[in-house]
């Protein structure tokens, strides 16, 4: 199961939820009912998805530029002893 967003507000587990008038209402075992603005929740979800895409693109560009402009490592060969010819 993928969690899209976390709504913090209740001190105990949520027992019920309902949508009404573009709002989300949650009832909890802490004997409170909270009202959440559904438009704000959608805005947060879209922003989070946008940031996820931008993070992926940033990592792609970083990898591309590392390949393009990165320092090429010189191969280290074995240093052999020069043989003396007599």
pLDDT at 11: 83
Tally of domains in the chain:
1
pLDDT of residue 1: 46
Residue 60 maps to a domain? yes
Residue 78 placed within a domain: no
Dist. CA 70–CA 41, nearest whole Å: 42
Residue 35 pairs in a beta bridge with 25
Report yes or no on 83 lying in a domain. Answer: no
Residue range 7-27, pLDDT digits in tens: 788 888 889 889 888 898 999
Query: In this structure, is residue 40 part of a structural domain?
Result: yes
Note whether residue 1 is domain-resident. no
Residue 21 lies in a domain: yes
pTM: 0.53
Range of the domain at 64: 14-68
Asked if 4 and 45 count as a contact pair (C-beta separation under 8 A), the reply is yes
Quick check: is 31 in a domain? Answer: yes
In a domain, 63, yes or no: yes
d(CA 7, CA 9): 6
57 pLDDT above the threshold of 80: yes
């Amino acid at each position: 199961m993928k969690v899209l967003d976390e709504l913090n507000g209740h001190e105990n587990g949520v027992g019920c939820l309902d949508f009404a008038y573009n709002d989300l209402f949650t009832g909890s075992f802490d004997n409170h009912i909270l009202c959440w603005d559904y438009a704000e929740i959608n805005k947060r979800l879209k922003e989070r998805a946008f940031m996820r895409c931008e993070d992926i693109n940033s990592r792609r560009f970083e990898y591309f530029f590392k390949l393009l402009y990165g320092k090429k490592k010189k191969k280290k060969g074995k240093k052999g002893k020069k043989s003396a010819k007599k």
